[in-house]
Amino acid sequence: MNKLLGFVKREAVLCISLAAALISMIFVPPNEGYLGYIDWSVLGLLFCLMTAVQGFSGIGAFRRLSDLLTRSFHNTRILGALLALMCFFLSMLVTNDVALLTVVPLTIMLFRGRERVKIRTIILETAAANLGSMATPVGNPQNLYIYTHYEMPLGEFFTTMLPPTIMSLILLAASALLIPSAQMSPEATGEPVKSSVSAGKLRFRAVMYCLMAALCLLTVARLLDWRICAAAVLVLALVAEPRVLCRVDYALLGTFVCFFVFVGNLSAIPGIRSFISSAVSGREMLVGAALSQVISNVPCAVMLSGFTDNARGLLLGVDLGGLGTLIASLASLISFKLYVNSEGARKGRYFAEFTLYNFVLLAALFAAQTGYNALFG
């Protein structure tokens, strides 16, 4: 029973999505149409990306990058700003959650005993990872889903997301002033990365993971079929390090499957489909941002995609909607859990400052994007 409760607590979103799917089956009994609900290309590409990212993480590539960039900076504000910018740009390539899993533990180590600096830096890093990840189709799961589901041209994706990305970068840079400024001793800025694996084996694995990443990018650019990519990545993983397949977030893949079933069943009920479609139509950005605060932006993207053809509005809504509450983006929960498990953690202060900063940032970016849309369409 304790193991079951632990699983439910750890994978709350998966359990909720499974419950929603099972309830929807009462009204639309399982049939051959269920297979049509699932977007297999999204699942396949997401699996490939997670495998490559876990591979790079396993050989310490991201930690080495973090250590390299932080070795020469000894002012808390400058170092905090650098770490946040690292999250911003790193998340564009390796997803927001991986960026935070890489940088937040380093932040906790660097700012040990400086609680105000630590809290504000991690809050800024979390916002930076959520906002930077919206710049590319592979930056987060909802982007990959919308880009693939709607078959958005790559150029349209980038032109849609470039304005809010630039606005986000400006606001994040200004937010660095919130981090207290103080000098740090040089020896406090990192520890060497150690590995029990030989240098030759690490280089071999790095080559394999680079090949995986290249295949994923070719698939995102629609130059390679996702099935070929998935098969090749699976073979490369087995050759390089079979255990990397165990580190893939299968709960996220399962969450997608459950929401595909749930949304597909809702869409199959004419009255519900008509009601939700009319409520969402013309308000995709607002509804996406608002609903993300309650169910988080990944399931929100999957759910609303069944009721609107406005990919751009939905994309903007769920990406900006990653700001706000602690559950608006699952990546935010990652950094929160890492912080509360650190020595001297002040959970109440973190939660209060996180919520205030995120809602102010959300309001500013939403207003700026609304103004941009009104001027340029």
Instruction: Tell me the C-alpha distance between 234 and 246, whole Å.
Output: 12
79 within some domain: yes
The residues, ordered by sequence, that sit 6+ positions from 38 with a Cβ below 8 Å of its Cβ are 257, 260, 261
Instruction: Tell me the C-alpha distance between 7 and 11, whole Å.
Output: 6
Report the SS3 class of residue 249: coil
Instruction: Tell me the C-alpha distance between 41 and 44, whole Å.
Output: 5
Token pair listed for 244? 């990397």
Give 199-238 pLDDT, tens digit per residue: 888 899 999 999 998 998 898 888 899 999 999 999 999 9
Residue that the structure tokens 């600096």 belong to: 117
Give the CA angle between residues 85, 173, 156 to the nearest 5°. 70
Give 44-101 pLDDT, tens digit per residue: 888 998 898 888 888 887 777 666 766 777 789 999 999 999 999 999 988 898 888 8
Q: What is the DSSP letter of 75?
A: B
293 within some domain: yes
- 340 pLDDT above the threshold of 90: no
**DSSP codes, 98-113:** HHHHHHHHHHHHHTTT
132 within some domain: yes
Instruction: Give me the amino acid identity at 95.
Output: T
Instruction: Tell me the C-alpha distance between 199 and 50, whole Å.
Output: 24
As for how many domains the chain has, the answer is 1
Instruction: Tell me the C-alpha distance between 34 and 27, whole Å.
Output: 13
188 within some domain: no
191 within some domain: no
pTM score: 0.80
Give 128-172 pLDDT, tens digit per residue: 999 999 999 989 989 999 999 999 999 999 999 999 999 999 999
Token pair listed for 38? 């699932």
For the beta carbon of residue 112, count every other beta carbon within 10 angstroms: 13
The distance from CA 144 to its chain's CA centroid, rounded to whole angstroms, is 10
Give 268-307 pLDDT, tens digit per residue: 888 877 888 888 888 999 999 999 998 888 888 988 998 8
Whether the CB-CB separation of 127 and 336 falls below 8 Å is answered with: no
Whether the CB-CB separation of 255 and 13 falls below 8 Å is answered with: yes
247 within some domain: yes
4 within some domain: no
Note the pLDDT of residue 69. 62
For residue 304, give the nearest of 278, 323, 319, 284 by alpha carbon: 284
- 346 pLDDT above the threshold of 60: yes
The residue segments making up the domain with residue 116 are 13-183+196-376
Q: How far is CA 55 from CA 236, 247, 252, in A?
A: 11, 9, 17
Q: Which residues pair with 183 in a beta bridge?
A: 75
1 within some domain: no
Phi, psi (degrees; rounded to nearest 5) at 75: -105, 130
Whether the CB-CB separation of 339 and 124 falls below 8 Å is answered with: no
Instruction: Tell me the C-alpha distance between 233 and 218, whole Å.
Output: 12
